[in-house]
Amino acid sequence: MTVSLYSVAVPPMLQILSATSGLLTKARAFCAEQGVAEAELAEIRLAPDMWPFSWQVRACTTYSAIAVQALESGLHAPDFCDVPADFDVLDGMVSDAIAVLRGVS
């Protein structure tokens, strides 16, 4: 039985990105219900030595769609600039990553 890199990588990445999108939806609802600023929640860390939530989202996109693009091009140039603490931007990053992965065959 032959196993492709696509079959072991892309479907799980899509599942993780879909779950990340769901987390952003729930986080946005929480902020609206509790009167918490989205930027404040985007900077929360589950533990002091962890990246904030916004960087966790960035990691999901970097280690999925950007990694696949690097495999295709032979170049990996991750973006280490600050991640905006804006749920619209984060949601856009996830949506873009999903679109990239859906375009891979």
pTM above 0.85, yes or no: yes
Residue 32 has pLDDT above 80, yes or no: yes
Tokens of 97: 């990553």
Contact 57, 20 (CB under 8 A): yes
Condensed to tens digits (0 to 9), the pLDDT of residues 39-87 reads 999 999 999 999 999 999 999 998 898 888 888 888 877 777 788 889 9
Q: Is the dihedral of CA 39, 42, 87, 36 positive or negative?
A: negative
d(CA 5, CA 29): 36
60-to-33, 34, 95 alpha-carbon distances in Å? 26, 26, 11
Each domain of the chain, given as residue ranges in start order, spans: 8-102
